Copies of this chain bind each other. A is one copy, B any other.
C-alpha cells in the first residue's frame, strides 16, 4: 500500500481548543514528522491542528487540511493545501482514510471518532495523552501510547503503512 515514490501522509488529530501543553506537543510532533519526510495531514482548523501545521512549516514540510466547512478561509494559516469538503464532521472519515498513520493528541469526541475510524480502517494510531477505549469481550484496541512528542512522531513514521 505504501508507495515508494510518494511521501507518507501522517495525520495529527486533536482538539480545535488545545491546552498550551497540547499545542507545544503538537508543534513538536508536526516538526518531527516533516523532518522525517512526511506530509502533515490534519482537519485544517485551530488548536492541535494549527500547532501541528506550524511545526511542520518550521521544517519546511507540506501541510494539508481537510476542512469540515465550506470556506477555505477557515483553514489555519499554516495549511498549504486546504481541502474544502463541506461535509461537516463526516470529513473525519476522510482524514482517517487518507492518513498512513495517525498521531492523536488530547482531543474530544471528534478526535475520538477519528481514532475509531483509523482503527476501523487498519490505520496505525499513536496516542499522546488521548482517549482510552475498552469493551469487555473485545480485543484491546491497538493504540500505541507514548509519553513524548518525539516518540509519537518516531513511532508514526515507523508504522506508516
Contacts and interface: CB of A to CB of B under 8 A. Distances in A.
Contacts of A9: 81-82
Nearest to A107: B135
Contacts of A39: 81
Contacts of A131: 133-135, 138
Interface stretch (A23-31, A112-120, A146-154): A112-120
A124 interface: no
B130 A135 contact: yes
Contacts of A159: none
Given A88-B93, A109-B141, A138-B108, A3 B72 contact: yes
A33 B90 CA distance: 27
Interface of A: 1, 3, 5-7, 9, 39, 62, 64, 66, 70-73, 77, 80-90, 92-94, 97-98, 106-110, 112-113, 115-117, 119-121, 129-138, 141
Given A106-B135, A108-B138, A109-B116, 6 more contacts: A1-B73, A70-B97, A87-B90, A90-B94, A113-B117, A115-B116
